[in-house]
């Protein structure tokens, strides 16, 4: 069997998506040996952009059938690498919520780069104030972007990080000659076994330092829905998938509310508007919500969703 | 005219960096620098958020060591809100810290570092990687993948999410550990401990001896060290204790977390987004590999240097062997790999100890009646790459007004640069360089990571 060539890159990423690839588990070794041929993956292989001795002038990545990119686009180098990946790969996969929707790093879109640098290089309690660095480093873009704001993405696997089930599923589908692989367009609540009574009358929103009520000896399907207990749970407006193809939502399993790490349920969904409706339906006054954008767009600040404040 | 070799990206590390090596007309190294290419802005974008939410945001600083950021952040948030943890909550967090260490160190040693040692620094890049390791020793490779996976899954099953964790909460831990879970995790940890003890013996006897020559020349320079110790007896601590800043001769200051501002300063260079922390007592930072000033290192070799002893028996046996051969402090950069495995043994033993403590299955895992308030809190833990310092301030509503973060890689920015310069100068002469030589320069960086 011929192997499928794969190139992998990380942009404004944290390496969690790459660790999630390793968490595909024991089948990984077989895949690596028999099915996949990684031609470029900085976390594991020493392939260099400017040639192995660094003398070439132009950045280049080898050709591959499948390209996997994690992380959003935040500086000129990220953009250059992304465009090169698109040029060299037949199928481009956006891996993780940073790549599909900006992820946590896109929270920066609410602030100016000037404020960020002012604190980091001048005002921080341990820093000797200095001019901002400019030499040999790629300039920042005006904000943090998702991949599809610059290139065509063939397959999106959101999640921070994506569950290995979806990564393995996508890879196996591709090996099978299929180019279609879609995440389900349902909400975290759809996979959540907690008990919902839909009674109204909850007035106070609890903060995360307040605990849910549950009996630890009893399974999730005997715990009351966290949102109905007054905890902000983003389940209703977040895409399903964190428990893999079968499991329960991960945060709920740890008895804490969802914070939305799989991004919106479908492209173009409006979590902010939808969530206000969900809150009202359990009796909250949505106006009492603290740091509303910091909850509702925590993982999806690209695509112009989070704009500068002030 | 001389020329510049642009080595990008630095590979088999976590993060985005490149190295530029400048050669003069005769082909000798005039300068070499490591450029960190990104600035992500966590200090900025946690502002205005409820402080108890920050431990759910900052793990994204690093997906290889998310637990350590999660836990340091939880400690800082506890301190801002003035919360005391019940002993069970504290121990559950410490257990997770130990369990997170184990798969991470297995990953680093076998996947990121070992290709240089097992296949050799001159092997072609296309085989000098984890796939090459699989080819060289398929049985061992399968076992490594399995053991790393097992470590990850034990933690995931108990704590819900292993990458970018959620189960640490201000005031403690979100759920108790049940007796059945405890038994299952304990059995898994014992198996991992056996594998880790095998690993250090294998490395000590079969891998490192072949490279002792390289160890003595690559990236070597005298520096200070930063790590955490147990206040009662100076034993190496990975979770909680006091910070020790040692100078290159082995003298040290010991201080509590909030005192970090008196001991650490940060300097900026125009050619890297990342700042360069230095030991304040020396007054300034001088990036000169022959006569460095203010430079200190963090991460495993630093912890092994600053501690008086290990906290557990098998790890202590390993430290004895190490100290007999290399002394204290030792400045040989490639010994990071060895030090990493000594700590791995302690992490396994410590996890076992915690799982055998009756309090670990207690039901008071989380403090009650927490209120927002204005506060100032510093939380630290030792991450695989070095001491994490999370410092937050809050307003009356418990919303963040200031966040100062100094993380593992940042501490090592100055020493990584010096190691690169020293290695490049020692290895590249008269215009002669090749892939193998340049890979050796990178090895000087890889030692620090994670
Ligand atoms: S999606 Fe999450 S895990 Fe993946 S790179 Fe972004 S922050 Fe890291
Ligand atoms: S709101 Fe949260 S707890 Fe309730 S059903 Fe949805 S995911 Fe589950
Ligand atoms: S419950 Fe929500 S925040 Fe938690 S892992 Fe699932 S999608 Fe992410």
Nearest CA in chain B to A162: B163
The finding on whether A240 has its CB within 6 A of some atom of ligand 3 is no
Q: Which of A14, A56, A299 to mutate to test the interface with B (most CBs of B within 10 A)?
A: A14
> Which residues are bridge partners to B276 per DSSP?
B267
ipTM for the whole complex: 0.96
pLDDT in tens, A188-197: 999 999 999 8
pLDDT in tens, A17-43: 999 998 888 787 788 778 899 999 998
pLDDT value of residue B207: 86
Enter the tokens of residue A169: 């599923």
Q: At what angle do helices B313-326 and B336-355 cross, to 10 degrees?
A: 160
- Largest Cα–Cα distance in chain A? 68
Residues of B in contact with A55 (CB under 8 A): 3, 5-6
pLDDT value of residue B130: 81
pLDDT band at B333 (very low <50, low <70, confident <90, very high): confident
The finding on whether A151 has its CB within 6 A of some atom of ligand 2 is no
Per-chain mean pLDDT for chain B = 94
Please tell me the distance from the alpha carbon of residue B104 to that of residue B19, in angstroms, as a whole number.
Answer: 25
Q: Provide mean pLDDT across the span B388-414.
A: 96
Name residues whose C-beta falls within 8 Å of residue B197's C-beta, 6 or more positions apart in sequence: B314, B345, B348
pLDDT in tens, B1-45: 688 999 999 988 877 889 999 999 999 999 999 999 989 999 999
pLDDT value of residue A1: 59
Tokens 């031609």 label which residue? A39
Q: Which of B164, B182, B433 to mutate to test the interface with A (most CBs of A within 10 A)?
A: B164
Question: Are B11 and A47 in contact (CB < 8 Å)?
Answer: yes
Residues of B in contact with A253 (CB under 8 A): 160
The answer, yes or no, to whether residue A146 has pLDDT greater than 80, is yes
Please tell me the distance from the alpha carbon of residue B178 to that of residue A215, in angstroms, as a whole number.
Answer: 12
B231-B237-B241-B243 Cα dihedral, nearest 10 degrees: 90
* CA of B71 vs chain A CAs: smallest distance (Å): 15
Neighbours of A55 (CB within 10 A): 12
Neighbours of B280 (CB within 10 A): 18
pLDDT in tens, B334-373: 899 999 999 999 999 999 999 999 999 999 999 999 999 9
**0.95 surpassed by pTM:** yes
- pLDDT-above-70 percentage for chain B: 100
Higher pLDDT, B408 or B300: B300
pLDDT in tens, B172-195: 999 999 999 999 999 999 999 999
Q: Find the DSSP H helices in B203-274.
A: 212-217, 260-263
pLDDT in tens, A271-302: 888 888 888 887 788 888 889 889 999 999 99
Report phi then psi at A29, rounded to 5: -60, -45
Q: Provide mean pLDDT across the span A155-174.
A: 93
pLDDT in tens, B189-247: 999 999 999 999 999 998 888 887 877 877 788 999 999 999 999 999 999 999 999 99
Report phi then psi at B344, rounded to 5: -60, -40
- pLDDT-above-90 percentage for chain B: 79
> Does an H or E element contain A94, and which?
strand A89-95
Kindly report whether the peptide bond that precedes residue B249 is cis, defined as omega within 30 degrees of 0. Answer: no
Q: Provide mean pLDDT across the span B61-86.
A: 97
Question: Are A209 and B159 in contact (CB < 8 Å)?
Answer: no
Please tell me the distance from the alpha carbon of residue B307 to that of residue B326, in angstroms, as a whole number.
Answer: 15
* CA of A151 vs chain B CAs: smallest distance (Å): 21
Q: Provide mean pLDDT across the span B48-58.
A: 98
pLDDT band at A200 (very low <50, low <70, confident <90, very high): low
| B103-162 residues touching A, CB cutoff 8 A | 107, 111-112, 125-126, 128-131, 134-135, 138, 141-142, 145-146, 148-149, 152-153, 159-162
**Ligand closest to the CA atom of residue A74:** 1
The answer, yes or no, to whether residue B125 has pLDDT greater than 90, is no
Q: Provide mean pLDDT across the span A128-157.
A: 96
DSSP per residue, B124-153? -TTTSSHHHHHHH-HHHHHHHHHHHHHHHH
pLDDT band at B152 (very low <50, low <70, confident <90, very high): very high
Q: Which of A10, A11, A13 to mutate to test the pocket of ligand 1 (most atoms within 8 A of CB)?
A: A13
* CA of A155 vs chain B CAs: smallest distance (Å): 22
Question: Are A256 and B398 in contact (CB < 8 Å)?
Answer: no
Q: CA-CA distances (angstroms) from residue B305 to A94, A184, B211, B217, B226? A: 43, 52, 21, 19, 9
Q: Which of B19, B167, B273 to mutate to test the interface with A (most CBs of A within 10 A)?
A: B273
Determine the 3-state secondary structure of B399 from DSSP.
strand
Tokens 């969703």 label which residue? A305
């Amino acid at each position: 069997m011929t192997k499928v060539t794969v190139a992998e890159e990380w942009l404004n990423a944290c390496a969690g998506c790459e660790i999630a690839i390793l968490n595909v588990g024991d089948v990984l070794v077989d895949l690596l040996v028999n099915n996949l041929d990684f031609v470029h993956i900085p976390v594991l292989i020493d392939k260099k952009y400017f040639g192995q001795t660094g003398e070439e002038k132009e950045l280049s990545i080898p050709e591959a059938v499948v390209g996997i990119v994690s992380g959003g686009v935040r500086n000129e180098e990220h953009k250059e690498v992304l465009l090169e990946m698109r040029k060299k790969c037949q199928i481009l996969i956006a891996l993780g919520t940073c790549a599909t929707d900006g992820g946590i790093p896109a929270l920066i879109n609410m602030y100016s780069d000037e404020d960020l640098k002012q604190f980091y290089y001048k005002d921080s309690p341990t820093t000797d104030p200095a001019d901002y660095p400019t030499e040999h480093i790629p300039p920042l873009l005006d904000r943090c972007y998702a991949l599809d704001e610059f290139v065509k993405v063939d397959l999106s696997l959101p999640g921070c990080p994506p569950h290995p089930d979806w990564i393995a599923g996508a890879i196996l589908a591709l090996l099978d000659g299929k180019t279609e692989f879609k995440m389900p367009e349902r909400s975290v609540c759809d996979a959540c076994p907690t008990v919902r009574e839909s009674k109204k009358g909850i007035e106070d929103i609890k903060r995360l330092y307040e605990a849910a009520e549950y009996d630890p000896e009893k399974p999730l399907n005997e715990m009351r829905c966290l949102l109905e207990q007054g905890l902000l749970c983003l389940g209703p407006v977040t895409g399903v998938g964190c428990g893999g193809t079968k499991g329960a939502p991960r945060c709920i399993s740890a008895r804490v509310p969802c914070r939305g790490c799989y991004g919106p349920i479908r492209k173009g969904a409006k979590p902010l508007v939808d969530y206000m409706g969900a809150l009202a339906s359990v009796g909250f006054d949505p106006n009492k919500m603290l740091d509303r954008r910091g909850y509702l767009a925590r993982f999806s600040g690209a695509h112009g969703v989070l704009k500068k404040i002030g | 005219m001389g020329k510049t070799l642009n080595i990008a990206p630095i590979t088999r590390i976590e993060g985005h960096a490149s190295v530029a090596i400048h050669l003069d007309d005769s082909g000798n190294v005039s300068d070499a620098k490591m450029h960190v290419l990104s600035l992500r802005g966590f200090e900025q974008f946690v502002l205005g958020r409820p402080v108890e939410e920050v431990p759910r945001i900052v793990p994204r600083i690093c997906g290889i060591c998310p637990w350590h950021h999660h836990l340091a952040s939880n400690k800082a948030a506890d301190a801002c809100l003035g919360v005391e943890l019940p002993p069970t909550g504290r121990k559950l967090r410490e257990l997770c810290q130990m369990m997170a260490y184990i798969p991470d160190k297995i990953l680093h040693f076998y996947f990121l570092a070992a290709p240089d040692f097992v296949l050799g620094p001159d092997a072609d890049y296309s085989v000098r990687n984890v796939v090459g390791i699989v080819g060289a020793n398929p049985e061992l490779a399968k076992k490594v993948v399995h053991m790393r996976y097992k470590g990850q899954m034990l933690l995931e099953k108990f704590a819900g999410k292993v990458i970018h964790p959620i189960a640490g909460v201000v005031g403690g831990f979100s759920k108790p550990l049940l007796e059945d879970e405890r038994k299952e995790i304990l059995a898994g940890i014992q198996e991992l401990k056996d594998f880790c003890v095998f690993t250090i013996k294998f490395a000590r006897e079969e891998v490192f001896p072949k490279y002792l020559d390289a160890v003595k020349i690559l990236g070597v320079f005298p520096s200070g060290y930063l790590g955490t110790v147990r206040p009662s007896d100076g034993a190496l601590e990975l979770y909680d204790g006091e910070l020790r800043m040692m100078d290159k001769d082995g003298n040290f200051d010991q201080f509590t977390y909030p005192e970090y501002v008196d001991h650490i300063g940060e300097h900026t260079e125009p050619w890297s987004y990342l700042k360069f922390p230095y030991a304040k007592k020396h007054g300034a930072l001088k990036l000169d590999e022959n006569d460095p000033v203010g430079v200190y290192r963090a991460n495993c070799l630093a912890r092994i240097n600053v501690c008086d002893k290990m906290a557990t028996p098998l790890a202590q046996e390993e430290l004895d062997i190490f100290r007999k051969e290399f002394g204290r402090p030792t400045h040989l950069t490639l010994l990071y790999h060895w030090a990493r495995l000594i700590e791995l043994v302690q992490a396994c033993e410590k996890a076992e100890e915690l799982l055998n403590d009756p309090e670990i299955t207690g039901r008071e895992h989380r403090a009650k009646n927490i209120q927002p308030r204005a506060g100032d809190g510093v939380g630290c833990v030792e991450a695989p790459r070095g001491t994490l310092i999370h410092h937050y301030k809050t307003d009356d509503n418990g919303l963040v007004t200031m966040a100062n973060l100094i993380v593992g890689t940042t501490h090592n920015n100055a020493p990584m640069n010096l190691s690169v310069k020293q290695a490049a100068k020692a290895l590249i002469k008269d215009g002669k360089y090749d892939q193998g030589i340049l890979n050796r320069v990178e090895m000087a960086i890889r030692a620090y990571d994670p």
